[in-house]
Amino acid sequence: MVLSEWLPAAMAVGGYVLGSIPFGVVVAKWLGTVDPRTAGSRNIGFTNVLRVSGKAAGLLTLAGDAGKGWLVGWAALHSLEQEAWVLGVAFCPILGHVHSLFLGFRGGKGVATALGAVAGVAPVIGGVMLLVWVVTAAVWRYSSGAAVAAFAALPVVAVLMDRSWMFQIFSLLVTGMIVLRHTDNVLRLWQGTEPKIGS
């Protein structure tokens, strides 16, 4: 095979490995704070790290998790010609975060990484999702609710912006994964027992 045929596969593997880096755990060890797997909701993402380890750790985790998704998505968009490969590679860091190679194929809920990946391949749509998340979180102060709202908007925005059928399938897959990972949170939201941001 020529290099161009190997490149998509190599980027997919690299994207999965990069996505597998659990920044919440790495940041906690680096700062000497609480391992997020042992406290709070035991999730390795931004919200739980913020809750159990403070703002600095939370923001660093958010930057790392979103950044790895964005980097892979952006690199795929600018390196690969076929949209199917671009979107397939962009999906890999999300899969890596949710099923981390370094945590026994367990991981986080994928919100920041997925948002970063979408922004990498479709900056405007990523910006709309971020706006939905920020507004929803600011009004209701539920991180999980804001995440579900932002990703529920993804396939709708994809249709409204007349994106290709491939992108629409990608958006449905990403949304499905994120919503599935938040099943327990949605149940707690319904029951009124979901903790708010900062609680």
DSSP string for the chain:
--HHHHHHHHHHHHHHHHHH--HHHHHHHHHT---GGGSTT---SHHHHHHHH-HHHHHHHHHHHHHHHHHHHHHHHHH-S-HHHHHHHHHHHHHHHHT-GGGTT-----HHHHHHHHHHH-HHHHHHHHHHHHHHHHHH--HHHHHHHHHHHHHHHHHHTT--HHHHHHHHHHHHHHHHHTHHHHHHHHHT-PPPTT-
pLDDT digits (tens, 9 = 90+) for 32-73: 999 999 998 899 999 999 999 999 999 999 999 999 999 999
The whole-number pLDDT of residue 41 equals 87
Q: Chunk the chain into consecutive blocks of 10 residues (it has 199) and report each block's average pLDDT, rounded to whole numbers.
A: 75 98 97 94 93 94 98 97 96 98 95 98 98 95 94 98 97 97 92 82
The whole-number pLDDT of residue 105 equals 95
The whole-number pLDDT of residue 172 equals 98
pLDDT more than 70, % of the chain: 97
